[in-house]
Amino acid sequence: MAKKNKLMVFDMDGVLVDVSRSYMLAIKKTVEFFLGSIIPIAEVEAMKQVPGNNDDFDCTRSILLAYGIPATEKALIKKFQEFYQGKNFDGLIKNERFLLREDTLKALSSQCTLAIFTGRDRKESTYALEKAEAAKYFKTVITAEDVKKKKPDPEGLLKLLDKYKPQDVWYVGDSVDDAAAARKAEVPFVGVIPPGTSNPAELKSILLRKGAARVLDSIEQIQKVIG
């Protein structure tokens, strides 16, 4: 089948980028700041898989609320970004690592049109793609600014379907909100286990229950999906 008829759409965090030492840690540290005590990272991972908590600010707020601690949106985002972005992108964002090797990306992009649908904003998305010198492989990048509502709203996927009209399409993500967006857009969902996940077997079963056609143990197995 011609390349133009295949579209592979990626979520970014946990899928293309290892955020176990960046966003995930920023959530943990922000919660700990307002809570005044230490929490296990597994608690952050678990809240991420509660529907509606794919967004990192939402996830942070939900954990704090579960402890009975309300934090204003402004205070929460300010503290979170002190940890994540730091002063001039010198915070935890520095720890991020791009997960797809260039030869895999090159092979994939010769078989499919590649696109991204992420909850990241444009600035943070561009930072990750440019740092990895991977921007040229992705034909369209849909960021937070490009949609009216966050995932699980499927708007980003629907825009891509409309633009490319693919015969074959996949959405590759790591959260239940990604799975729900795919379901609403009627796009087959491929789950992937992010690096550093405390309980990969549990995450795998959650994503399968939420409709994943399959779940990859690592994004490097992505070529199996095209077959």
Give the residue with the Cβ less far from Mg ion, 91 or 119.
Answer: 119
Structure tokens belonging to residue 62? 């939900």
Determine the Cα–Cα distance for residues 18 and 32; give it in Å rounded to an integer.
22
Residues from 123 through 182 that contact Mg ion (CB under 5 A): 174
CB 216 within 8 A of CB 192: yes
Least CB distance from residue 11 to Mg ion, whole Å? 4
Q: Of 85 and 174, which has the nearer Cβ to Mg ion?
A: 174
Select 45 or 79, whichever has its Cβ closest to Mg ion.
45
- The least CB distance from residue 173 to Mg ion, in Å, is 6
DSSP lists the bridge partners of residue 13 as: 17
- CA distances 158 to 72, 116, 166, Å, are 33, 12, 11
Q: Could you say whether residue 14 binds Mg ion (CB under 5 A)?
A: yes
Pick from 8, 13, 134, 191: which binds Mg ion (CB under 5 A)?
A: 13
The 3-state DSSP class for residue 176 equals: helix
How far apart, in Å, are the Cα atoms of 116 and each of 13, 41, 56, 98? 11, 27, 18, 14
Query: Of the two residues 169 and 172, which places its CB atom closer to Mg ion in the complex?
Result: 172
Q: Is 55 in the site for Mg ion (CB under 5 A)?
A: no
Measured from the CB of residue 98, what is the shortest distance to Mg ion in angstroms? 14
CB nearer to Mg ion: give 19 or 225.
19
Q: Using the rule CB under 5 A, is 11 a contact of Mg ion?
A: yes
In the DSSP assignment, the letter for residue 130 is: H
- For the chain, the C-alpha Rg in angstroms (whole number) is 17
Q: Enumerate binding residues for Mg ion (CB under 5 A).
A: 11, 13-14, 174
